[in-house]
Structure 1
Amino acid sequence: MRKIFLTIGLLISSLLVLESCKQTPKQMHLTGSTMGTYYSVKFLNNVVLPRIEEVHTEIDKRLALVNTHMSTYRKTSELSLFNQHKDRSPFRVSVDTAEVINEALRINKISNGALDVTVGPLVNLWGFGPEERPDRVPSDELIAQRRAMTGIRHLSVDGNNLIKTNPDLYVDLSSIAKGFGVDVIASYLTELGLKNYLVEIGGELKLKGMNAESQPWRIAIEKPNNAQQTIQEIIAPGDMAMATSGNYKNYFEVDGIRYSHIINPATAKPINHRMVSVTIVDKSCMTADGFSTAFMVMGPEDALVVANDEAIAAFFIVKTDTGFTEIASDAFKKYLLY
């Protein structure tokens, strides 16, 4: 009899183990601050991991390294030291910084100069950097002075060395570094063996696998409405990254005229067309981040031509006299759910 009880007990234990294996893995959620914004990391804990505190610490460590390399707010970062470098001699940087600047240079060419990571002095002049926001539009003289400090033609990369031919050149990677940070954390989660995750830094995303309901991740594109958060579209990016740029939140007004934080390198002034939001889907969040800014600068007509020519998945929200209209590139249409 005792043997029978033992056998039954073993069978019950085995069934419980099998049942526990069928249970949906627990979704973990880690948050924190980085690059002047927030980060959010969600993943299904379906592999053997280090303690969750160790994972959280490692995420913070890797994001801190990105800031150490590329922040313009840290005077001792690689990028800040390069900006202080006043001669043409090569300035050695990390592999990561060189990679991000190389991608910025590539996107600059594809976008016909729309993405220019040297426009930081102009961004600051217009009050969207560390300088105080102006109470009037900057004069043409001030704009010309700052413009003389810009120009991506003065910037090049040779291996891990940065070279500038204008001693006053100032590089700001805020239009692409968040996306790179997302890629860094996504790569770390993949290293851990995780197959289902969502990484977000300030609205830039990278996704893989399924959510806690065993469904593909779905992402809402926000309607450009300052009064309340509403949804314009819902998309299913799959195992891809996604970045959005817009000009409907960060701006100031003078004499009834709205000035966007996005500066057109060709005019040295804020953009003034009707595009209000750009969303890009790409394998690389760094690339998506850069193109979302570039296309915001270009405007809907020119951006759509480039997106279709280069098979870039791009989604535009454009203001009309009666509301908003949507424009999707050919490569983006497969992500739309409705």
Structure 2
Amino acid sequence: MLRNSLQQKIKEGPVYLAFFLVALVSAVISSCSSDTQHAKLEQLFFSGDTMGTTYSIKAVVAPDNTIDMASLAQQIKMLLEDYNEVMSTYISDSELSRFNRAPVGEWVSLSDDLFDILHVSEQVSQISDGAFDITLGPLINLWGFGPATRSTPPSDEMIASVKADIGHHYVEIDEASKRARRQKNVEVSLSAVAKGYATDVVARLLENNSINNYMIEIGGELKIRGVNQRDKHWKIGIEKPALGRTGVVQAVTGDNVAIATSGEYRNYYEENGVRVSHTLNPVTGKPIRHKLASVTVVTELGGYADAYATALNVLGPAEGYELAEREKLAAFFIVSEGDSFRIKYTSEFEKYMVQ
């Protein structure tokens, strides 16, 4: 992705009351109607568990389609199981786990998907000056967001010790031969990009089955293409919790785009009444402390959307916005201001907004 230094004017929306943390949820507004009187197309629905979360897929086809529902459901299930066998750090013999155990300095040939996701990750790491980093696993575990929890924050000495063994630049990739190596004993974790990339993988499967109208949701990350059952473009709601109820802040739409979000509401614990975010700053080794509650990114590919959303969340409302404008990213920021919040979005985001 080419850099562009042109700065655009910040677009700020009205202030809304918010008594809880702001969240982006994958609510589909005006997605499909159950009223057969208006239905011109047929909807297929698939759902299940994957990667410690869930998936939900709506595929829209012509009424006279010959798709075998059971066969397609099995294909999706097997695809995501195989994908997890590649990307998971919880499976000891996954491809990623084997890569993490390979001797330091040894080149390892990779499958197409693992190589591609490492390539996407490194691109975003470089563009964000390290705000996105796939080697933060030990820090994530140290702060209690991994398999083991903790009741108190780690000491500065513990953080410094772990930071010595992280750094995205220690993972080298060779594009010509689709291989990679670790130049230091770093541990690669793809939790901040794998779900978004998985929407791309599922999209390819659907398209290979001649399905070009769909909405894929995996762990809150989405990919949409074509139309819904009412023959209208999909509309996705960016929502906030307010007084125990949700309300749409902004609706977005698009064709063949991915939508990802990152925000502290997703995973945290409390220490002395203060929320400790699961999003860590690779520079400080500590949870982010700025006022950015949520950032949503719309791109063509889910892997990039997921990674950029994390990077912008780490950078915060000022630096994150500057990066998004510079890279011409479609990004929507929700910034906490006491018991209220304000929104701002990049000029590129405007084309996806439902007025």
TM-score normalised by structure 1 residue count: 0.90
Q: Which residue of 2 aligns with 1:310?
A: 327
CA contact (8 A) 1:114 1:294 kept: yes
**Alignment partners' CA distance in 2, 1:302 and 1:160:** 33
Q: 1:205 aligns with which of 210, 213, 222?
A: 222
Q: 2:61 aligns with which of 32, 35, 45?
A: 45
Q: Which residue of 2 aligns with 1:336?
A: 353
Code of the aligned partner of 1:166: K
For residue 230 of structure 1, report the CA deviation from its aligned partner: 2.8
Point out the more displaced range, 263-272 or 183-192: 183-192
Could you say what secondary structure the match of 1:181 adopts?
helix
Taking a change above 3 Å as real, the CA distance of residues 298 and 224 of structure 1, as seen in their structure-2 partners, is: farther
For residue 39 of structure 1, report the CA deviation from its aligned partner: 0.5
CA contact (8 A) 2:39 2:230 kept: no
Code of the aligned partner of 2:254: P
Residues 165-314 of structure 1 aligned to structure 2 (within 5 Å): 165-167=183-185, 169-223=186-240, 225=242, 227-314=244-331
Question: What percentage of residue pairs aligned between the two structures are identical?
Answer: 38
Higher relative contact order (CA 8 A, sep 6+): 2
Code of the aligned partner of 1:285: G
CA contact (8 A) 2:41 2:231 kept: no
Residues 40-79 of structure 1 aligned to structure 2 (within 5 Å): 40-46=56-62, 48-79=65-96
Q: 1:144 aligns with which of 160, 169, 190?
A: 160
**Alignment partners' CA distance in 2, 1:124 and 1:71:** 15
CA contact (8 A) 1:241 1:282 kept: yes
Which has more radius of gyration? 1
CA contact (8 A) 2:200 2:301 kept: yes
Q: Which residue of 2 aligns with 1:157?
A: 173
For residue 145 of structure 1, report the CA deviation from its aligned partner: 2.1
**Alignment partners' CA distance in 2, 1:173 and 1:225:** 32
Could you say what secondary structure the match of 2:266 adopts?
coil
Greater share of helix: 1
**Alignment partners' CA distance in 2, 1:32 and 1:337:** 30
Query: Gapped runs of 5+ residues in structure 1?
Result: 1-21
Q: How much is the aligned-residue C-alpha RMSD, in angstroms? A: 1.7
Q: Which residue of 2 aligns with 1:327?
A: 344
For residue 23 of structure 1, report the CA deviation from its aligned partner: 6.6
Q: Which residue of 1 aligns with 2:22?
A: none
For residue 289 of structure 1, report the CA deviation from its aligned partner: 0.5
CA displacement 1:59-115 (0-9 Å, x = unmatched):
111111211111111111011111122321112221110110011000011111100
**Alignment partners' CA distance in 2, 1:134 and 1:225:** 30
Code of the aligned partner of 1:31: S
Taking a change above 3 Å as real, the CA distance of residues 55 and 254 of structure 1, as seen in their structure-2 partners, is: same
Code of the aligned partner of 1:163: R
Query: Gapped runs of 5+ residues in structure 2?
Result: 1-37
Greater share of strand: 2
For residue 50 of structure 1, report the CA deviation from its aligned partner: 3.8
CA contact (8 A) 1:226 1:249 kept: no
**Alignment partners' CA distance in 2, 1:195 and 1:212:** 12
CA contact (8 A) 2:87 2:96 kept: yes
Could you say what secondary structure the match of 1:65 adopts?
helix
Residues 6-155 of structure 1 aligned to structure 2 (within 5 Å): 24-46=40-62, 48-131=65-148, 133-155=149-171
